Amino acid sequence: MPAASNQSTSNDTSHNGGIPGVADLLSLLGGVNPLVAVGKVVETVTQVTGEIVKSIATFNDTMTELNRVAHRVNNLLDDIEAPLREVVPAVQAGVKQARTTLKKVDGVVAQVGSLPTDVAKAVSTLGDLAGRLGPLTQFAEMAGGMFGMKSNSAG
């Protein structure tokens, strides 16, 4: 029987391509096939690549939506620009006229010294009107500034 065991060993060596130590290496691996590990690595890389592709697709979708929002905001600004260009000069002219009228009335009041109660009330109303138009003037100037218009108000 010892001759049979020598024959099986020589069969193993010839079966493994005749390279000494290959059988020993495979026995050390304990039956683990290195090709299976390579297959798992390829599978993992494929999964990670798929996740990256999904992330890029999500990013592209997000950028598309942001682009749509930007177009809507631009369209809205285009829609309100023309009316603001018409309203701002009218508001500025109205405020300028109110200030001019108030200055003239103040000059008359200073010259006359005393006015009847109704006229004093009208002057007070004009002053109140000029004060109330102040925030509207600021809004009109800011809105006009957004579209490159210069302020016409003086004083």
Q: What pLDDT is attached to residue 111? A: 63
Using DSSP's 3-state secondary structure scheme, residue 114 falls into coil
Reported as a single tens digit per residue, the pLDDT across 93-152 is 888 888 888 888 777 766 665 556 767 777 777 777 777 777 777 777 777 777 666 655
Distance (Å, whole) CA 70 – CA 150: 27
> Model's pTM, two decimal places?
0.37
Question: Is 140:86 a contact under the CB 8 Å cutoff?
Answer: no
pLDDT at position 112 is 62
Structure-model confidence comparison of residues 53 and 107, the more confident one: 53
3-state secondary structure 33-67: CHHHHHHHHHHHHHHHHHHHHHHHHHHHHHHHHHH
Report the chain's terminal Cα–Cα distance, integer Å.
122
Whole-number pLDDT of residue 150: 62
**What does the pLDDT look like over 5-43, one tens digit per residue?**
444 444 444 444 557 776 676 666 665 666 667 778 888
Q: What is the pLDDT of residue 148?
A: 66
C-beta neighbour count of 42 within 10 angstroms: 10
Mean pLDDT within 64-88: 87
Average pLDDT over residues 52-57: 93
CA separation for the pair 11, 103 (Å, rounded): 120
Closest by Cα among 112, 114, 108 to 126: 108
3-state DSSP assignment of residue 53: helix
